[in-house]
Amino acid sequence: MGFFSDLMEAVTPWAEVEAEAPAKEEEEEGVKDSRDEESEDKEEEEVEEEEEEEEMVDPKEKFEAECRESKGCSSYKHHFDECVERVTGKSDDGPKEDCVEEFFHLAHCANACAAPKVFAALK
């Protein structure tokens, strides 16, 4: 429905409203849908064939891994790596420490960097 006809309906509350769409139209829609799906299927089959050769890679993981290694997140990555090294190399009787906060900073940086790329890659 066009915007203006819709607008007209909005300012003319006496316009008719149908609870159910006529059956004929529905059939047509159904046909259309199946046609759409067919054509889409064809397109995506090609895509799938390409992907079936190798394991599917989640775009989010891919871009985030790239972002973690990127220059923008290098300081967070450095801190996180340093922390992991310190914590894993430590004896058990020392003070308890974890790398969750360092992980947070790195994850936040990588996610923010990857977010637009991920959504561009997804449907």
Partner 1 sequence: MLARSCLRSTRGVSAVRNGAVNTTKRAASSTSNAASPFALNVAGTVSTAMAIGSAAWYYHLYGPELHAMTPVEEGLHPTKYPWEHAKWNKTFDHQALRRGFQVYQEVCASCHSLSRVPYRALVGVTHTVDEAKAMAEANEYDSEPNDEGEIEKRPGKLSDYLPRPYKNDEAARAGNNGALPPDLSLMAKARHGGIDYIFNLLTGYPDEVPAGAVVPEGLNFNPYFPGTGIAMARVLYNELVEYEDGTPASTSQMAKDVTEFLNWSAEPEMDQRKKMGVKVITITLALFALSVWVKRYKWAAVKTRKLNYTPPSMGGKHTNGH
List residues near partner 1 by CB under 8 A: 6-7, 10-11, 20, 26, 29-30, 37, 40-41, 43-45, 47-48, 51, 55-61, 80, 83-84, 87-88, 96-104, 107-108, 111-112, 115-116, 118-119, 122-123
CB of 70 to partner 1, least distance (A): 15
Residue with Cβ nearer partner 1 (29 or 69)? 29
* Three-class secondary structure assignment of 28-84: HHHHHHHHHHHHHHHHHHHHHHHHHCCCCCCHHHHHHHHHHHCCCCHHHHHHHHHHH
